[in-house]
Amino acid sequence: MTDIVTLKAICDEFKIDPREARERLRAAASDAKANPELAKARKPRTPWQWVKGTTAEKEARRVLQPKKPA
């Protein structure tokens, strides 16, 4: 059985608002050159979720990771 990572789990981990996270993911998925796996994994009108350990999950985590203050 494959492990599924949901957007809610990532939001809880990074302590970010799910609404903001969805906005950031939509923007990132629309840029297929920068995030090819995330763009391929996106299916409209379906929950944001990824198989644990995939490149798409790593791209999603990179996009959602909180920015460190300079």
pTM for the structure as a whole: 0.88
Give, for 28, the enclosing helix (H) or strand (E): helix 18-30
Q: CA 20 to CA 5: how far, in whole Å? A: 18
pLDDT tens, the chain, 70 aa long: 689 999 999 999 999 999 999 999 999 999 999 999 999 999 999 999 999 999 999 999 999 998 777 6
Q: CA 51 to CA 67: how far, in whole Å? A: 24
pLDDT at 60: 96
pLDDT at 70: 65
